A and B are shown apart, each in its own frame.
Chain A
Amino acid sequence: MGRRETLMSQLRGEPPPTDDGRNVDSLLGLLEGEGAAQQVERLAEEHPHPPPSELHDSTSDLETYYGLPLLKEHVWKAAIPAYFYVGGLAGASAALGAGSILPASATEPVAAVVFDPEPHPNAFATVLYALYAELAWFH
């Protein structure tokens, strides 16, 4: 520990020294353990603890372990469920919109329906579809 990566150590092909708490001197030991590939940029933030004030007093609450959550929080961003929701809504609206021209095709000439270059007047479905397409493009 305390050894710095120098031009000479780079030229010698030595692995860079670790300063992430692994305490492996790269001159003496190799990083070949099962968890050695785990990359570290910020140390303290990765194992967050609730502040003591949020923890329950063990004597007053025997049901839980100091009020700590049992399960891990999901790692998804809010945009992902929003994407599924908007996508589903848009898909359903598009299906409804497509269905709405079905009875019309029975009475109107087929050509007017099939080759209509204008967007369908179902404005709600169109707006939602545009929103969905935009979101899909961003992803």
Chain B
Amino acid sequence: MGAKGFFTDTTLCIGCKACEVACKQWNQLPDDGFQFTGMSYDNTSHLGSSTWRHVGFVERPVPLGAQIAGAGSFSWLMMSDVCKHCARAGCLESCPTGAIVRTEFDSVYVQPDVCNGCGYCVSACPFGVIDRREDDGRAWKCTLCYDRLREDMVPACAKHCPTASIQYGDLVQLRARAERRVEELHRRGMPEARLYGHSAAAQPGTEGLNAFFLLVDRPEVYNLPPEPVAPARNLRRSWSALAAAAVGMAALALGAVLSP
């Protein structure tokens, strides 16, 4: 099978939200309700239990490097956000029931019939992707269209993306393509272009993302963490702190009792 993933090139995104609609339709996700945020064209505002693709809109008074005068000092950044399917996934490591598994496509999948709704994964995700639906009681997130992949089909969002901003394929090929794309953008006068989470070396906290991004500004601007870390990476440090505390407590207690 080999590792599959997404390469989301935000320089190509036009913010049409076809991915959001395609995801909802294919996966038969319930409605989010018609709400108006009033901040931008982004009325979904964040990923959640019933929102597995989310298009962010950043309006800023900063021109892009390659921008030709006319729009003034203004630029629009659009990014289709999704579950990153981390190589080392915080949600998967924290799941006590084994409901979250790694599939043959190297994606991270939540089995709804096993999930008991403990919510550990919600606080373990360094990207704030997975969420628990309160009236359903279980945690939900993007499945990388597992049902479509099994039939050799492209995930719904990538299939519907009209500008190929969302690209699906073998991770090795996607990484090579992304590096070529960054070089091309640099050559064309867009020095801000950078990859986000494309390799384990670039993002040691998650050991690389299977759904990585090409950004033209710092990740914080897109509501992405600059240095995400899967919580279990800190286990050794926290357990040794706990052991030190236990030894200290035992010494104090024995000292209090045994002292004359």
Residues of A within 8 A of B (CB): 20-24, 31-47, 49-50, 52, 55, 58-59, 62-66, 68-76, 92, 95-96, 99-100, 102-103
B 137-178 binary contact with A (CB < 8 Å = 1; else 0): 110100101110000000000000000000000000000000
Contact B122 A74 (CB under 8 A): yes
- B59 within 8 Å of A (CB atoms): yes
Contact A65 B112 (CB under 8 A): no
Cβ of A20: which chain B residues have Cβ within 8 Å of it? 30-31
Cβ of A65: which chain B residues have Cβ within 8 Å of it? 56, 58, 220-223
Interface residue range, chain B: 35 or more
User: Which 7 pairs, one residue from A and one from B, show the smallest C-beta to C-beta distance?
Assistant: A21-B31, A33-B28, A65-B223, A52-B38, A75-B119, A44-B33, A41-B135
29 A–B contacts from the bound complex (CB under 8 Å):
A31-B28, A33-B29, A34-B26, A34-B27, A34-B145, A34-B146, A35-B28, A38-B49, A38-B112, A40-B136, A46-B32, A46-B133, A47-B32, A47-B44, A47-B48, A49-B37, A55-B37, A55-B38, A58-B60, A66-B37, A66-B40, A70-B224, A72-B125, A73-B122, A96-B253, A96-B256, A96-B257, A99-B256, A103-B258
From known contacts A46-B50, A47-B33, infer whether A34 and B147 are also in contact, taking CB-CB under 8 Å: yes
B 58-99 binary contact with A (CB < 8 Å = 1; else 0): 111110000000000000000000000000000000000000
Interface centre among A66, A72, A76, A92 (most CB of B within 10 A): A72
- B128 within 8 Å of A (CB atoms): yes
From known contacts A46-B135, A68-B46, infer whether A40 and B257 are also in contact, taking CB-CB under 8 Å: no
* Interface of B, helix, strand, loop or mixed by DSSP: loop
- B203 within 8 Å of A (CB atoms): no
Cβ of A63: which chain B residues have Cβ within 8 Å of it? 220-221
Contact A44 B35 (CB under 8 A): yes
Cβ of B27: which chain A residues have Cβ within 8 Å of it? 33-36
Residues of B within 8 A of A (CB): 25-33, 35, 37-40, 42-46, 48-52, 56, 58-62, 112-113, 119, 122-123, 125-138, 140, 143, 145-147, 220-225, 249, 253-254, 256-258
Q: How far is the CA of A102 from the CA of B254 in the complex (A)?
A: 10
Contact B132 A75 (CB under 8 A): yes
Q: How far is the CA of A49 from the CA of B33 in the complex (A)?
A: 11
Q: How far is the CA of A36 from the CA of B133 in the complex (A)?
A: 13
From known contacts A33-B26, A34-B145, A92-B249, infer whether A72 and B254 are also in contact, taking CB-CB under 8 Å: no
